[in-house]
Amino acid sequence: MRTALRTAIATALVAGVAITAPALAAGAAFAAGTTPAPKATAAAPAVTADGAPAVTADGAPAVTAEDAPVRTVQLAGGLSAKVYAKGDQHPYYTATVVRDGHVLGELKAGGGYAQQDTEVFAGHSVTLNSEGEVTATAVDTPKGTLVRTETLLTGTVAKIYKVNQLDYRAELFRQGSPVGVVEANSRSAAGQDNGEFFVLNQDGTTHNWIGNIAPNTPGLYRLVDGTVLQLAKKDGRFGLQLIENGKGRGYTYANGARAVWTFGKAVVVLESDGQFAAYVPGYRYQAAPKPVVEAPAPVATGECTVQQVVPSVFGLGWTVALTNDLEKGPKAVLTDEQGEVRGTADRAHPFDSAVGLKIEGAGTLAPRFGQRTQGGDTPFRWTSFPALPKGCEKDGSTASPTPSATTGTNVTTNNAGQTSVVPKGGVAAGAELGASHDSTALVAAGAGAASLAAAGLGFVVLRRRASARV
């Protein structure tokens, strides 16, 4: 079930709290009713055919239709919604929900968003569909049994109620005034205000922290406890997946304002605009997820077998698992951002010409791997296979390291007899001229890195039941 937004929150965080991580949009803060409704964006006046400024019947300058709502809908409970038409190639609608002149939140539907968006504002479930139609109905908000009261980092008081066995509810108050509700029904839910996060779990436990926010740039990120996550965007939605042993465990995408997941001990909140924050309970040191800018260290997977996962040139989120095995030889497996295998090269078949993968020195102790996104004269980018563990050299073995091979994540390139070592990085760099020709057809398809505008939802009422898994 979609995340339900119970109410908007309007009071800002305590003054002076510094957040060095990327700031999420402030939007509605803690105390309801203190954020004024946004005024229409100033637009260039419309003009007539002869170039003169157009005016309305009362003589005021006319504005273009793009900057004005297509309609304003009066809803139940004193709510109203200003509906805007957005997008050119992929049209969609937004609805700004207002009560008593104050913005409570925004809905989006159509285009790259869901066909309808539903949130709860001031005790009413408001729905916007892909046709720009908005409706509102009153909803029941059972309170449950009060089990405890907590004070958050910025002074907000959270009253925790048990509704059912796996359904807990937190009502938030600032200076005695109600400012929001977060409900965790069968799974965790979260609220956020100016970088302060409050997570309520379905068993009634909570987490509260400030900051630790990562940007919305797709790619690999490492948390303070070593957990590696991958952020991606698909069909207009952002999702996260856990990376273990170089392989993705499958993306889970956010529906609604935000989503909460637990990866090991790490609690991660993903905003709809792709920014995400992480908190690891019990860790003295907390920090924002850091982009993985170099390949993870090699991992021994057997007595004389070692594996390392490195980024691929084929696109953001694509990786290559390089396995060096004393008995079986080297093997390279290319996977896309969804974890699907797209190409393989090994000792028996060291050249995958259809994709653009190549192993040189497959019969030596120090092979290297080449990859390229086009055929013909396009140069390969070379990466050394991880070195075998010490003591794995066979007596009398004829295998010997090639002069151009190195260990670890460094890359060696040979150009007209000149050798240079390229430092560690997110993608191996370098080229070898005069490489073999092939008919490689796979073209790099990097993920887009454009950020959506932050939702600006503040510490809001959220109801969690299920997540979308693609």
pLDDT digits (tens, 9 = 90+) for 423-463: 333 333 332 322 333 433 344 333 332 332 233 334 544 44
To 10 degrees, the CA torsion angle through 192, 193, 196, 200? -30
CA geometry: angle 14, 276, 231, nearest 5 deg = 170
Residue 361: pLDDT band (50, 70, 90) is: very high
pTM recorded for the entire structure: 0.43
- Please tell me the predicted confidence (pLDDT) of residue 34: 31
Q: Lowest mean pLDDT of 139-148, 194-203, 253-262, 459-468, name the range.
A: 459-468
C-alpha distances in angstroms, 245 versus 48, 151, 229, 279? Answer: 64, 40, 12, 22
CB contact at 8 A, 328 and 392: no
Calculate mean pLDDT across residues 173-184: 86
CB contact at 8 A, 248 and 321: no
How far apart, in whole angstroms, are the C-alpha atoms of residue 206 and residue 98? 30
pLDDT tops 50 at residue 85: yes
How far apart, in whole angstroms, are the C-alpha atoms of residue 260 and residue 270? 6
Share of the chain above pLDDT 90, in %: 39
- pLDDT tens digit string along 3-24? 333 333 333 333 333 334 454 5
Calculate mean pLDDT across residues 359-386: 87
- Please tell me the predicted confidence (pLDDT) of residue 450: 30
- pLDDT tens digit string along 314-350? 765 688 999 999 999 999 999 987 788 999 999 999 9
Residue 229: pLDDT band (50, 70, 90) is: very high
How far apart, in whole angstroms, are the C-alpha atoms of residue 265 and residue 231? 18
Whether the CA torsion 374, 375, 381, 383 is positive or negative: it is: positive
pLDDT tops 70 at residue 68: yes
- Please tell me the predicted confidence (pLDDT) of residue 314: 79
- Please tell me the predicted confidence (pLDDT) of residue 63: 47
Residue found under tokens 């991580």? 21
How far apart, in whole angstroms, are the C-alpha atoms of residue 250 and residue 234? 13
- Please tell me the predicted confidence (pLDDT) of residue 90: 87
Share of the chain above pLDDT 70, in %: 67
Residue 283: pLDDT band (50, 70, 90) is: confident
Across 152-156, 179-183, 289-293, which has the greatest mean pLDDT? Answer: 152-156
- Please tell me the predicted confidence (pLDDT) of residue 293: 66
Calculate mean pLDDT across residues 395-420: 36
- Please tell me the predicted confidence (pLDDT) of residue 109: 93
CB contact at 8 A, 454 and 249: no
- pLDDT tens digit string along 27-63? 333 333 333 344 434 444 444 555 555 555 555 445 4
Q: Tell me the residue type at 320.
A: V
Contacts of 88 (CB under 8 A, 6+ apart): none
pLDDT tops 70 at residue 289: yes
> 45: which 2 tokens?
């006046």
Mean residue pLDDT of the chain comes to 74
Whether the CA torsion 433, 353, 448, 249 is positive or negative: it is: negative
Calculate mean pLDDT across residues 280-287: 88
How far apart, in whole angstroms, are the C-alpha atoms of residue 178 and residue 24? 23
- Please tell me the predicted confidence (pLDDT) of residue 155: 92
Residue 292: pLDDT band (50, 70, 90) is: confident
CB contact at 8 A, 160 and 154: no
Residue 20 CB coordination number (10 Å): 10
- Please tell me the predicted confidence (pLDDT) of residue 92: 93
pLDDT tops 70 at residue 190: yes
- Please tell me the predicted confidence (pLDDT) of residue 2: 36
pLDDT tops 80 at residue 173: yes
CB contact at 8 A, 402 and 392: no
